[in-house]
Structure 1
């Protein structure tokens, strides 16, 4: 906290000084000027009654145009004039340029207003003009949640975008993965391309205050611009920029508490020992704990010899703090516009203890974000923009490691050892030599990871009307650099075990250091260069826009070879009468992942739109239908991240090994170089043929908006293992012989209406998708029920897996048929040879091939999938007088999770039984949901099977925010523009199909095994605007 405050004050001073410099520049004295001009419409007819004012003019000086559209206004050269007229778009124009020609007002058509901009790669369109499938949300519509990852506020907000939290929710590692419209490839990399202002950058660690809007680009109409790198879709983030019409300073402060959604509930010592005896007897042994020992655990008479720990209670907190502070300065004039932000975020860990005079081992995460976007209007033809972003993160954690520490806390038996021995030493045993949670925090040391990121973008746009009217040239260069450093105290500790004779046996050697070690741990450098031309002209009722860019990108990471890409992108847009629209996009792009001569491909796409509601034959529906646009697209895009195939797979792969080859009958290893994998010089990228058809509609005086799309994709040239004979002695080379498809539909609905004094907005979205494997190389002789062909693409269903980083495959497992209740049932069933001694209480499996034996030949392909078939979100926002509130529910359907790793820990973790062990099968509990207890893995009950599969469907109250703004009359006395107080919450309420099973359906492993728990957050905040 002390570090947070000191750095925050330091950076705040820099922010203030920078804002002062910008304000001084923007307020440089200039010359007085009397402006005369004329305002006309698109048909060059004068417009009377147009209100003309000076931005940020405290005297409220304004004039209106006369019948001839003319006006005269006294102003200065640095002023910007604002032209407003009902039914037309607002126009901003520097005063010094007004007298050089007519000011043209454009009629405000539906979806073509000042707030209807849609940002696409290196371009902007009015929503009316868009023929592609794009979903957009502005940050004004999002709640303020103090979370380390922005993905928490976007989940469930956009149709077609599914967000999955990662397996670890440790502060600083709360990183989610994305899928756009599901999976269409069974290879590993399904992440969409994430762009910030057109440059590939991660936005998850940005502050919400940096962002103006987030758009999801889903079909080939926009994705083709990026050619070979966009088959998985694009998330396009637009950052905030300065304003020529207003100047403001804002400050936000939030403080909150985070609490685990679910966390392991350990067994007490008596219950653990009793169950352990039962498991030992079931495993063919005898009871380990005597009745006297059980009594001692129960009555607590000797806590040293018979300890009864609760490590979860003693070493984790019920709540942990989090806080966020944001300051922004926005302003400008006719020559310069600027937006500057500084934010500080802190998330405390939920461990207890670990503090001493040298270090604090409790997890603690601090992040500082800085952004300055500057737009400079050099002259009437030249505009220059400079964007600078910075981020510093500090993550402190125990040297024992988060996973190791939490595994110890969750899994160590309550009776394993006393935490502190009578002589003050740390408790331990020959089994648990380095498993003392208190020692892990106090005596193992702590480390801090420091990461510095700097991002800069410089661009220039030059109008070239002297050469060709409507022609503009642009140059765009971005450079990012990041460095990572680790410092800390590395120590060791010893544990001791009290023997019956009063002596101690010590395990390990304590090592204590009083100095802090520092080390460089890596860096990243990235650069992107774009250059090209834009041509925009209107010829009567014909509107033409053309963009062309060449690009080159280089990514360098410490310890890895550079990655390079380059391409040439083109886009032609045409519309007639703002009613008929056509877009053509094509890219010629290359990747070094493929052999020379085969690195470039052509990626074309076309889309069209028709605003059918503007046709004369639709006039009869205008009493309820205000707007209807139908649109469709088709095109080809690629993916050069081909998953399991290694990089540069077009070359043979050799390695040097001490035992490179084996010779002779004794298979003696001989040192030398070995060829591990054959080359495939014909390997190529995945090719995605995307089709999308949809409509946008507005009804009932634009109160109701509906968008819907049907989509289909055929993904070809997927890499799949080649069917080489094993006699070759080489790793299987990958070939482009795979194919898969997916299809589905999505819809978004928004109802916005003012009902008396209440402003009401109700919204919702729904996406359904399904996939199918059309071609994949599989082993010869597989029975049909074990083939992946024809099945949907399944993601790894382990709760530790992410939805898209692991390779997708059709899960193969045994099909269960309940639990054996007696020996007669075992004798009457197929012989289960997975275990040497199947007993009542073991899982029964189905004999798929009817051979009377249960073995690997009875495993079948299933469609269980961690990736849902459907995902959705719905909510509302409402405001009345000075009060406002909003909420969001989100959820999934058609999703499966496995609980095997959680429930079966006793059979696979040295008999360390857990809370699930209580509800096991016994002769007195034949209807139990889990099989009998065993100390070791016998193979039968731990085999992969549908016995452990559960529904992952859920509906969650994702976030809520309630706010109150003080009245304008009151805050005017305080000389501020706005003062708002608000309370918010994240992950507040969940409805699922898991019954009493105490796990989280969205992230099942969180809070168990070795996983940091998924958190709910309650926060309170204040917003000031000056």
Structure 2
């Protein structure tokens, strides 16, 4: 009843949200239908004009067609034409050898000829590349930008878009870090890592605005580009050093209304999962660990027999917690509807979508609440383009989403820790009297966590709005225009749920129980609204685009200011002005110059702004006479860039580190005859008024080529980055008595190469293609203030950035292991290992690096081991025959290291650190095949040191995606009166090849399915795509 009352007033239930989306779609459709009336009734007009080339010479034989209609005419010998059309139609001008032009009917006149530009088909003229605040043809681009279109992305029902790009774009490394419902987390790196301070996450832009894209629906997106070199990044000044992921959303076209509907349903299954010890094996190994520690067994022979025979489920419980509380598979579904179209005056694109993902938990359904995980998201977007007159264009974009994430009140990490780390014999889930089982050592009952602790639901609401305007100023200067934009984003978190507590009981025989904990009744948790975040951006500036004979000039300038406001912190403000000048000669030689003046309030006033320049050039060699007519090389272009980009996220210990900060508390002073206590004032780290941004000096040289009648394309880039002003320790003498904020004295670099290869071929009704990309990037620390007196072999200068992930941090220095001690004689003859008071056979043996006869902290060495791979790649293919199609993708990494220390040694002193890997421990009987050290509960320090004993290769190749589809024939579509109907089956994260020799972990996410981490998932789905 409580749940029913809450649901009644909850605006975020599935029913209420579906009502909202239905109303939103209907309102959008009504608005679209009203557009012709908003702009006046259309009328038939005679469209007359003349078609000429860039030199002004008339072109005969140009096809002049009313868009979306079959009627048309051709231009005569003088280039003249006349055609009937309505005032809101668009006229299409098509001619082989020229770029197609689309002109609104009311803008065509006999006094202003239509100019067609000669096309360069072999150069990729039909491919638009999105650059900062502009669109260029591929042949004109001098920067290094890689793009993937929506049609190339997998239609997979995933909760976020983090991982759909994996393996598809050279230079972009994506490492999946989580799989919980609603959080397919991943980290991004572009061309490696060159800073040992900041996380180096790239700047993400959606239609030029700093917004996250991972919670968008895939059908909102037209394309995703990765900007990688100085020519594309210096425009963003102090915010572009880590690269940019540029997302472009879909927009409408001047065409008849088009409707699409996509439906997907499938399951997600764990790929790697802990295989816990049964009660007997656990008790046996626990006794062995105690025996190794010189202690008496915990379990007597009668108990061992009881666990082995499972004679009494209450006296000798044997609970397989993962099997009890995790399903074999969980359902997932996604539905998307879009409407698009328009005319010469207005173009529109509208989409709504619904996504529903169940978690793997089971057992959490109660009459009052459900604590099993579930994630639901509702997305909506409308992009509207208005051509108000021949000189003024306006866009209005509104989008957003509402997501509901439900999970147990204790949190996912606590619940997963309980089911992964609780021994099978700890307690029965339910006692003979039906109460929740527990003990003095183990007071967390997973069943009670689900059924008697309550739940939490997080509701995230996001609204995104953008308005832009472009005013042509041809009357002042032909090719000149003024552009302005304003964005307003709002995000809030609304939290509600149920709270409750329970007692666990330890059965002591008969009707005797010992309880632990307290019990409180079920209550509805007070609703809270937090994390309210508002972002707004403004930018404005001029664009110039004109041709003079063989010369083309383009210029763009933008002033930009952004403010991010939250109730929990001071506003974050950033601003700058960016400029770009582009020159082209004969559509063969290109040059760009970029200069940005950018600033951040995180630095001292007067030291907040800096210049970030870059230059770039391109040369289409295949246009030269000495390569014209070549039967192998169809297109060959050289390009290169050099420039400086900044990074204001330097990883300082506090935001305004140029100011001194003080705190109250700690020690007390006593004053007066009454000895009144007054808290003292402590100064935090001293300020550094000279802090500045990281400076990334980037250079890149590469080429784009097409061969064999454009069926084979190849791009290669060689790149290097030198990053300066990295934060490092100041090495001030301790006599100061106060630590300083770090100083900008560090340097690092990375360099590497990347390549893209594509081959496509059509033979009759058979079409196939293969594609691949590869990136190699290696970093090196050049300058770093390290503590005085440390040995040379422990210094980090000269080694790669990063380390091996261990717990919540990374480790750079390791002991070098030399196997396991096999006897007391070996221990006596070896250097003394001082990490443990009593080294025994079966313990790890370490190398004496400095030869002093002692193994201690001076024997750790800096290494090249790193969690960041030196190489990452993707390759795949596609096949289409008649109505059948298939595509697949592999991706992989090389040169990556992971550690298994936290897995093999998982647990606590309560569990004895006994887990599934303990079965492969060292004993006298298993000495030859043992994989891990002897078992011990109390004497663990020696064997848990950071050493290469626990390191493994993180290299892998994974079958990331496979899709098989079938489309109905044209005859069937005609009968159904639809334009497309396609059925398909798809899979994601399907098969992995690694170097772990059977070690049961995911090489990409080693902790997944262990300790407190959600299992890695494979996704299988059926889909339907309809177009009307």
Which range, TM-score by smaller chain?
over 0.9
What pairs up with 1:657-736 in 2 under 5 angstroms? 657-659=665-667, 671-736=679-744
- 1:883 matched to 2:893? The reply is no
Identify which of 211, 231, 240 aligns with 1:201.
Answer: 211
**Residue matched to 1:776:** 784
- 1:321 matched to 2:335? The reply is no
Whether contact under 8 Å (1:196, 1:239) holds in the other structure is: yes
Distance of 1:116 and 1:1001 partners within structure 2:
37
- 1:65 matched to 2:67? The reply is no
- 1:25 matched to 2:74? The reply is no
**Matched residue SS, 1:307:** coil
**Matched residue SS, 2:284:** helix
Offset of 1:142 from its aligned partner?
1.4
Identify which of 752, 757, 761 aligns with 1:749.
Answer: 757
C-alpha distance 448-907 of structure 1, shift in aligned 2 (>3 A): closer
**Residue matched to 1:165:** 176
Q: Greater shift after overlay, 928-937 or 413-422? A: 928-937
Distance of 2:86 and 2:320 partners within structure 1:
74
Runs (5+) with no aligned partner, structure 2:
1-6
Offset of 1:661 from its aligned partner?
8.2
**Residue matched to 2:805:** 797
Offset of 1:726 from its aligned partner?
2.3
**Residue matched to 1:626:** 634
Whether contact under 8 Å (2:122, 2:634) holds in the other structure is: no
Runs (5+) with no aligned partner, structure 1:
none
What pairs up with 1:569-968 in 2 under 5 angstroms? 569-619=578-628, 622-659=630-667, 671-798=679-806, 811-906=812-907, 910-926=911-927, 927-968=929-970
- 1:437 matched to 2:446? The reply is yes
**Residue matched to 1:48:** 60
**Matched residue SS, 1:1008:** coil
Distance of 2:252 and 2:124 partners within structure 1:
19
What pairs up with 1:127-166 in 2 under 5 angstroms? 127-166=138-177
**Matched residue SS, 2:163:** helix
- 1:123 matched to 2:134? The reply is yes
C-alpha distance 669-992 of structure 1, shift in aligned 2 (>3 A): farther
C-alpha distance 186-96 of structure 1, shift in aligned 2 (>3 A): same
Deviations 1:184-232 (A, max 9, x none): 0000331110000111000011111011011100000010001111100
What pairs up with 1:382-397 in 2 under 5 angstroms? 382-397=392-407
Whether contact under 8 Å (1:184, 1:715) holds in the other structure is: yes
Distance of 2:292 and 2:366 partners within structure 1:
46
Whether contact under 8 Å (2:47, 2:108) holds in the other structure is: yes
Distance of 2:511 and 2:369 partners within structure 1:
34
Q: Greater shift after overlay, 629-638 or 728-737? A: 728-737
Offset of 1:36 from its aligned partner?
1.2
Q: Greater shift after overlay, 922-931 or 513-522? A: 513-522
Distance of 1:661 and 1:463 partners within structure 2:
71
Offset of 1:30 from its aligned partner?
1.1
**Residue matched to 1:39:** 51
Whether contact under 8 Å (2:573, 2:600) holds in the other structure is: yes
Distance of 2:981 and 2:343 partners within structure 1:
26
Identify which of 316, 334, 347 aligns with 1:306.
Answer: 316
Distance of 2:628 and 2:637 partners within structure 1:
14
**Matched residue SS, 1:677:** coil
Distance of 2:319 and 2:716 partners within structure 1:
56
Identify which of 290, 301, 305 aligns with 1:291.
Answer: 301
Deviations 1:56-88 (A, max 9, x none): 23xx21112222221111111111111122222
- 1:491 matched to 2:500? The reply is yes
RMSD (Å), alpha carbons: 1.7
Whether contact under 8 Å (1:111, 1:126) holds in the other structure is: no
- 1:105 matched to 2:148? The reply is no
Whether contact under 8 Å (2:36, 2:42) holds in the other structure is: no
**Matched residue SS, 2:887:** strand
Distance of 2:146 and 2:122 partners within structure 1:
14
- 1:992 matched to 2:994? The reply is yes
C-alpha distance 810-296 of structure 1, shift in aligned 2 (>3 A): closer
Whether contact under 8 Å (1:907, 1:936) holds in the other structure is: no
- 1:279 matched to 2:279? The reply is no
**Residue matched to 1:244:** 254
**Residue matched to 2:543:** 534
Whether contact under 8 Å (1:409, 1:437) holds in the other structure is: yes
Whether contact under 8 Å (1:54, 1:62) holds in the other structure is: yes
Distance of 1:687 and 1:114 partners within structure 2:
35
Offset of 1:662 from its aligned partner?
12
Distance of 1:820 and 1:49 partners within structure 2:
88
Distance of 2:677 and 2:577 partners within structure 1:
51
Distance of 2:525 and 2:864 partners within structure 1:
52
Offset of 1:912 from its aligned partner?
4.0
Offset of 1:3 from its aligned partner?
3.9
Distance of 2:950 and 2:117 partners within structure 1:
63
Whether contact under 8 Å (1:603, 1:635) holds in the other structure is: yes
**Residue matched to 2:1011:** 1009
- 1:360 matched to 2:402? The reply is no
**Matched residue SS, 1:188:** coil
Offset of 1:645 from its aligned partner?
3.6
Distance of 2:236 and 2:347 partners within structure 1:
30
Whether contact under 8 Å (1:708, 1:746) holds in the other structure is: yes
Distance of 1:301 and 1:243 partners within structure 2:
73
Whether contact under 8 Å (2:262, 2:1026) holds in the other structure is: yes
Whether contact under 8 Å (1:810, 1:863) holds in the other structure is: no
TM-score (structure 1 length as normaliser): 0.97
Whether contact under 8 Å (1:118, 1:126) holds in the other structure is: yes
What pairs up with 1:506-545 in 2 under 5 angstroms? 506-545=515-554
Offset of 1:721 from its aligned partner?
1.2
Offset of 1:111 from its aligned partner?
6.0
Offset of 1:501 from its aligned partner?
5.4
Offset of 1:514 from its aligned partner?
4.4
Offset of 1:176 from its aligned partner?
1.3
Offset of 1:727 from its aligned partner?
3.0
Q: Greater shift after overlay, 520-529 or 584-593? A: 520-529
Distance of 1:824 and 1:768 partners within structure 2:
47
Distance of 1:1024 and 1:453 partners within structure 2:
29
Offset of 1:907 from its aligned partner?
6.8
Deviations 1:326-361 (A, max 9, x none): 000010000000111101111101001111111100
Deviations 1:537-564 (A, max 9, x none): 1000000000001111111123111111
Q: Greater shift after overlay, 949-958 or 145-154? A: 145-154
**Residue matched to 1:465:** 474
C-alpha distance 293-909 of structure 1, shift in aligned 2 (>3 A): closer
How many residues align structurally?
Answer: 1010
Offset of 1:650 from its aligned partner?
0.7
**Residue matched to 2:3:** none
**Residue matched to 1:341:** 351
**Matched residue SS, 2:716:** strand
